Chains A and B, each alone.
Chain A
């Protein structure tokens, strides 16, 4: 198993109140898997990803990568952050943004250049190299952040709602791009989304998280054929079954909280608001 999350718990310690973002998460991801994570808003998906990326220290439990405990950002891992706008550097052109991680890898200049070109054109941004990120639309910025991760050629790719700001057509293209890259590069992907259809379409597995304090609610195998395409896969019976099942799970997760939560009343209340 490449990535193992064992008994992960994360409590944010504030000045007055503490938030138990994650109660107890255990799951594993095999090398080369594409796993999607879904769960209600605020259930700790971003927190989990940051723990996996070595950016946050868990309160208890471990994250193991290749059997070794993650205590800082591991090499060969790329993260596409939910706050894509803030994760691009406004003082650098699009090209420099994508190129910076490659420079840290000490790759020769010509190689870097071609990797940047390839990555940018693969997300449909072949002609914006010299623009600054703040001159681009939200969706374009998000694609630059994806291109930066892709150009890095990571072993493990973590993506936090990476398609939230793009239109439906671009989104479909990017979904296919991710599956393509996954096939070609053999990269292991952990993909957070709030879109159930997207999770079912992309993943080999979908992990459904409960609402906060968070545990794994269900781990669904997506037994769809490996060759997927936007029209036929989504129209199939099995696809509809799977998405209906996961949808019901998430709705239930939103409604009920894990027993024993001190925040149970508040969470139920919040969940209802989300539903309305």
Chain B
């Protein structure tokens, strides 16, 4: 039922976009009707350049996210478990975190030009904080009784990280990854669009420059779909990994 209503809404939007140019409210030059966008999309799908761009964006997103998640988890666990380190780093984190990634674009261009590394740098910077902050929350959430239990049974630091801290932090980590995945896509497209690094973003810029407006819309729609796919995938992974967790577990009869 919910899915049906959602589809109905989407159909409404498509119909509206189809109708608007005919009403004269907006010019068809700026908002082409749906059927022209659709045929542009079909053209894109038939073009190998499109697939290359999609692949480039995906690679930049995936590598950037992987680096950010790895670094965020390791940094979060180290900061959270080494006594005193948290107090030392807190102000630095609060200062660095709000810096918008896009403010680093000039630096990225200076360092890497229009290569994929520029995109990666922005993606990693933006997503790293999302993960780090969540991991820090997670580490703080470790139940002292659970930790004492582990210590009393002779579990060393490494075993306690693996069997107590990590499972406790995992729900937070998953939230961080989900947020980071969304931010990473935004930054990947932004970097490509502004810097011209290879990918969907630069393809959108090219479409705009050559006045291929329907193609531009088609590519924008593709980035939207990519975002939806990423979010759905992240949620699915989350549900699988957190079967035992309160937010996921239902009543189960054993």
Contacts and interface: CB of A to CB of B under 8 A. Distances in A.
Asked if A and B are interacting partners, one says yes
B52 interface: no
A73 B254 contact: no
B154 to A, nearest CB: 5
B254 A101 contact: no
A135 B149 contact: no
B254 A130 contact: yes
A90 B170 CA distance: 13
B141 interface: no
Contacts, number: 63
B244 A87 contact: no
Interface string A47-75: 00010011100000000000000001101
Given A100-B153, A152-B153, A135 B159 contact: no
A86 B142 CA distance: 11
A54 B148 CA distance: 10
Contacts of B146: 86-87, 89
A100 B160 CA distance: 11
Chain B interface bracket (under 10, 10 to 19, 20 to 34, 35 or more) = 20 to 34
A132 B145 CA distance: 18
Contacts of B244: 90-92, 132, 134
A10 to B, nearest CB: 15
Nearest to A86: B145
19 contacts: A73-B152, A73-B154, A75-B154, A79-B148, A83-B145, A86-B146, A87-B145, A87-B149, A90-B245, A91-B244, A91-B245, A92-B163, A92-B167, A101-B154, A101-B155, A104-B154, A128-B254, A135-B252, A152-B153
Interface of B: 143, 145-146, 148-149, 151-155, 159, 163-164, 167, 170, 244-245, 249, 252, 254
Interface of A: 50, 53-55, 72-73, 75, 77-79, 81, 83, 86-87, 89-92, 100-101, 104-105, 128, 130-132, 134-135, 152
Closest 6 CB pairs of A and B: A101-B153, A86-B145, A91-B167, A87-B149, A79-B152, A131-B254
